[in-house]
Amino acid sequence: MILSSEKHEFLIQAAKVAAESAYAPYSNYFVGAAILTESGEIFTGCNIENRVLGGSICAERTAIVKAVSEGHRKFQAIAVHCKNNEGWPCGVCRQFIAEFGLETQIIVESDNKKLVVKKISELLPEKPVGVTT
């Protein structure tokens, strides 16, 4: 599905709002994400850190967990915003996004304020061992 640049911009703005809720007292990286479902709904998420190593969750996965737990499994796009600097989804989040489809678009605002859009299949091009589809 082709998304307009207005929609990309809208999703980035939603990710920026979500980043305001980030709980990041350990890293001080404040991240927000906004995911657009196939049916047009938007779910947002932020990173939530924990003093117990390994207990933290990234913004993208927060948004996806919210969407999937509300019955959504197909996504058009996910915008990611880090308040500190340009940042793309980490490896675990790439895998998490790819689980639900390889066509999902990732939208990030570059440090020079331009929106960059890539498919998750570009960010995670090779299949892991055991994945046949």
The correct pick among 47, 76, 104, 105 for binding ligand THU (CB under 6 A) is: 47
Whole-angstrom distance, CA of residue 49 vs CA of residue 22? 8
Active site residues: 60
The correct pick among 5, 20, 27, 50 for binding ligand THU (CB under 6 A) is: 27
Residues 94-133 that bind ligand THU (CB under 6 A): none
The correct pick among 76, 89, 104, 107 for binding ligand THU (CB under 6 A) is: 89
Residue 29: CB minimum distance to ligand THU, A? 4
Residue 47: CB minimum distance to ligand THU, A? 3
Task: Please identify which residue in the block is written with the tokens 């892991």.
Answer: 128
Binding of ligand THU at residue 90 (CB under 6 A)?
yes
Q: Which residues pair with 43 in a beta bridge?
A: 35
Q: What is the DSSP letter of 48?
A: B
Whole-angstrom CA distances from 93 to 59, 65, 113 are: 9, 11, 23
Which strand (E) or helix (H) includes residue 34?
Answer: strand 31-37
Q: How many residues of this chain bind ligand THU (CB under 6 A)?
A: 13
Binding site for ligand THU (CB under 6 A): 24, 27, 29, 31, 47, 49, 56, 58-60, 89-90, 93
